[in-house]
Amino acid sequence: MSHSRWYDKSLVLKDGVRLISRIWVPNRNGSWPALLMRQPYGREIASTITYSHPEWWVSKGYMVIIQDVRGMGSSEGVFNGFAQEANDTSETHEWVRSLKECDGKLGLYGFSYQGFTQLTGESNSKPPDCLSPAMTGMNIKEHWCSDGGAYWWHNNIAWGLQIAALKMKRENNLFAWGEIRLTLENKSYLREGIDILKKYDPNSFVLEWLKNLNNSSPFEEFEPISTWIKQPMLIIGGLWDPHLKGAFDLYKKSKEAGGSPEIIIGNATHLNWWEGSQESLLKFFDKHLKSDENFNSKNSVFEKKIWNISLNKWEELDNKFHPEFIFGLKSNGIANIEVEEGSLTINSKGTGWFTIVNDPWRPAPSDGGHLGPNPGKFNRSTIDKRLDVGVFQTNPFQEDQYLKGVPILEISAKSDKPNFDICLALSLVEEGNENVNQFSTGFLRVKNSKISEECIYQITMHPTNICLIKNSKLRLSISAAAYPSIGVNTGFGEGNVGAPSANHNYITLSFNLNKTFMKMTPFFNK
């Protein structure tokens, strides 16, 4: 016997557009706190790729509303992405609270785009009672589009094509849906994806972002409503999620607004989470939507934890780091030839130099991490054997050392082309293990530099939390490409950045290690 029932219900917005929601409620009379998710992928799915089905939440004493956002699923209107959501979100909140099955309390959940819709609304509207944005951020350029000015090639194109396919299905254009799907299945999206988007979804925000980056144009700016992020909030992030910096930024903004947010950074990619994530979320909603006591931040215990990659355990999340941890890089010119020649030394100045050439016919590949096609842990031992990758490695650690925070490399480089990329990977090489366990990556796209003129560049890597286990080694790898995480640089202009083409140039990068070092910075910038 089912303990829940569902029905579809429409909300007509002030501008006349009709939004469709699927509502699940307990199969008995009564009223319940509401959990709302606003999403573009189909209300029937209810983001069950990462969340328990609404029937599970109903069994725990909630009503659940999954809404198709404007222009997607069965909802009317035209989908224009992030900018459309503020008014629709606030009107939806008011409507949900008015439903006869709702007891007046409202909690928000959802990840990625569904996380963003929790944070944007009309500034004077009533805040939700609590919210849990997951795997999301508010800064379009930094949290959604690029790393170091380098466009997320694989990620953005694949996502843009998913949205385009949903639009084609909605228009019953089955041929277009099939063409889009085929490019993803045979991986030709890496070469043809931009043209397919221009053909079937020319107003895609993914195309707009690429154009903005290429032209150094400003991006739309979105700020969370301070009265909303002061509310009880559980921020969920993943160590392998591309939006992780957005999670830390949201935590910082909530604290600045006077909130007391909870935050969990798990052993998770964007789509694959850890066991126990649903129970943490249920505990949060039970505390803030079912408790009769008024929420008092002074008397509450807040969850702030982060997974340690190498120790495989949860740790308290704090903002401590090791500013004295400065690594110098040393090489006599063949760090890309001999793995043992390049060294990474603690609290020592760098010395020497090395040079690599980016051949666009066979660009240095990438995988794993937060931007690779197979995100997460990755053994990059084969990549590091390439001669277009410089490798710098510490001696075995005499005792456990913790690397917590955001790694930053400051490096002096020059190139024979005005445009080039510097791509980084940090890895743990365990004693007696041939695996090179990549755990953080970073990218920088340099434009319009003076040819053969040495400059100092700063590259911010992905936040991390790892123990460098006794007798293991830390490795830093440097290359001039990381395909398909980011597109291959042409060396001149921006028009053909992406899949290798006949218009791509060889790029020679030379590094002066006397002015190069790596350091750690805190998760939450002051």
In a structure prediction context, what are the per-residue pLDDT tens digits for the chain, which is 526 residues long?
567 899 999 999 999 999 999 999 999 999 999 999 999 999 999 999 999 999 999 999 999 999 999 999 999 999 999 999 999 999 999 999 999 999 999 999 999 999 999 999 999 999 999 999 999 999 999 999 999 999 999 999 999 999 999 999 999 999 999 999 999 999 999 999 999 999 999 999 999 999 999 999 999 999 999 999 999 999 999 999 999 999 999 999 999 999 999 999 999 999 999 999 999 999 999 999 997 655 554 555 678 999 999 999 999 998 776 667 799 999 999 999 998 899 999 988 899 999 999 999 999 999 999 999 999 999 999 999 999 999 999 999 999 999 999 999 999 999 999 999 999 999 999 888 889 999 999 999 999 999 999 999 999 999 999 999 999 999 999 999 999 999 999 999 767 799 999 999 999 999 999 989 999 999 987 6
The span from the CA of 144 to the CA of 115, in Å, is 12
- Domain closes at, from 302, 334, 369: 302
Q: What is the pLDDT of residue 315?
A: 96
- At 252, which helix (H) or strand (E)? helix 244-256
Specify whether 366 is located in the same domain as 475.
Answer: yes
Specify whether 205 is located in the same domain as 247.
Answer: no
Q: Which amino acid is at 182?
A: L
* CA–CA–CA angle 503, 504, 507 (5° rounding): 145
With b for 16 or more beta-carbon neighbours within 10 A and e for fewer, the 20-31 pattern comes to bbbbbbbeeeee
The span from the CA of 94 to the CA of 331, in Å, is 63
The span from the CA of 446 to the CA of 420, in Å, is 5
The span from the CA of 200 to the CA of 188, in Å, is 16
Specify whether 62 is located in the same domain as 176.
Answer: no
Specify whether 505 is located in the same domain as 358.
Answer: yes
Number of domains, the chain: 3
Specify whether 395 is located in the same domain as 484.
Answer: yes
Q: What is the pLDDT of residue 293?
A: 52
Is residue 308 assigned to a domain? no
Domain harbouring 84, CATH code = 3.40.50.1820
Q: Which amino acid is at 455?
A: C
Specify whether 250 is located in the same domain as 392.
Answer: no
Specify whether 198 is located in the same domain as 227.
Answer: no
Specify whether 199 is located in the same domain as 246.
Answer: no
The span from the CA of 188 to the CA of 166, in Å, is 19
Specify whether 365 is located in the same domain as 511.
Answer: yes
Is residue 480 assigned to a domain? yes
Decide: helix, strand or coil at residue 62: coil
Spatial CA neighbour of 206 closest among 281, 268, 140 = 140
* CA–CA–CA angle 304, 310, 314 (5° rounding): 20
Is residue 50 assigned to a domain? yes
Class of residue 319 by CB neighbours under 10 A (exposed 0-12, middle 13-18, buried 19+): middle
Is residue 313 assigned to a domain? no
The span from the CA of 97 to the CA of 33, in Å, is 9
- Domain closes at, from 215, 241, 262: 215
Specify whether 180 is located in the same domain as 239.
Answer: no
Is residue 374 assigned to a domain? yes
The span from the CA of 151 to the CA of 253, in Å, is 25
CB count within 10 Å of CB 453 equals 9
Q: What is the pLDDT of residue 292?
A: 65
Question: Is-cis flag, bond preceding 360, omega within 30?
Answer: no
Strand 351-358, strand 389-393: pairing = unpaired
The answer to whether residues 238 and 265 touch, using CB atoms and an 8 Å cutoff, is yes
CB count within 10 Å of CB 274 equals 13
Question: Which domain, by its residues, includes 118?
Answer: 4-138+223-302
Q: How far is residue 135 CA from its own chain's centroid?
A: 6
Specify whether 449 is located in the same domain as 494.
Answer: yes
Domain harbouring 498, CATH code = 2.60.120.260
pTM beyond 0.85: yes
The span from the CA of 52 to the CA of 276, in Å, is 11
The span from the CA of 109 to the CA of 235, in Å, is 10
Q: What is the pLDDT of residue 432?
A: 85
Residues 6+ apart with CB under 8 A from 179: 196, 200
Is residue 361 assigned to a domain? yes
- At 185, which helix (H) or strand (E)? helix 174-185
Specify whether 396 is located in the same domain as 468.
Answer: yes
Is residue 307 assigned to a domain? no
Is residue 474 assigned to a domain? yes
